[in-house]
Amino acid sequence: MISPRVLLPLLLLVGACGTPPVAARSGDLSLTPTASAPPCPTSGVAVSALESEAASGLRVLTLKLLNCGTEPHSVTGYPDVRLLDADGQPLNVRVLNGPASAEISALDSFAAEPAEVVLQPGEHATSALLWRNTYDNTTEPPQVGARLDIAPTAGTPRQTFIPRLPPNGDPNRVDAPAVTIDLGSTGRIGVAPWRTA
């Protein structure tokens, strides 16, 4: 027969093995869960936001095209971009590729000629969106893009996402700040060609 002095500690030890882990204390960032990265699309490439700049009403959002697949991926030209509002409805926006974006602002990176970019697995290319936040037509509400519906190039599979700036390099964290594409009443957006990162 086992002594009660031995039995009680033994039962406590066995019971502790099935106890769930203690929840992270607030402020303990090492134990704070983050959203896991979504699976790689079947196309083998994933588009996300990389960084944003703003000055005097001019906005630039850099996009990242990651080869998350296992084969090299080639891309030439411009992302095929559609803006959606917070309800997922498309906005009536003129998309100005490359040199045409000078109608918004003349930037060298947007005027560059498209060139083929070959991405090995794990490599990425960048493009960018350009717009002005100007509202001078009070007869219509301002246009605000909350989501991007985008294909790496016209005719390729599309992806829809909320552009979020990546804290610590992770664009998939649900707590990453979202970027709104606040066009005001301008109704136009410029697009730069894909280029090597």
Contact 93, 189 (CB under 8 A): yes
Give me the amino acid identity at 71: E
- Structural domain boundaries in the chain: 45-196
Looking up tokens 């196309």 gives 43
H/E run at residue 17: helix 4-17
pLDDT at residue 78, as a whole number: 98
Tens-digit pLDDT profile for residues 109-150: 999 999 999 999 999 999 999 999 988 888 888 999 999 999
- Pick the range with the lowest mean pLDDT from 15-29, 35-49, 91-105, 135-149: 15-29
Residue 137: CB atoms within 10 Å: 12
- Average pLDDT of every residue of the chain: 82
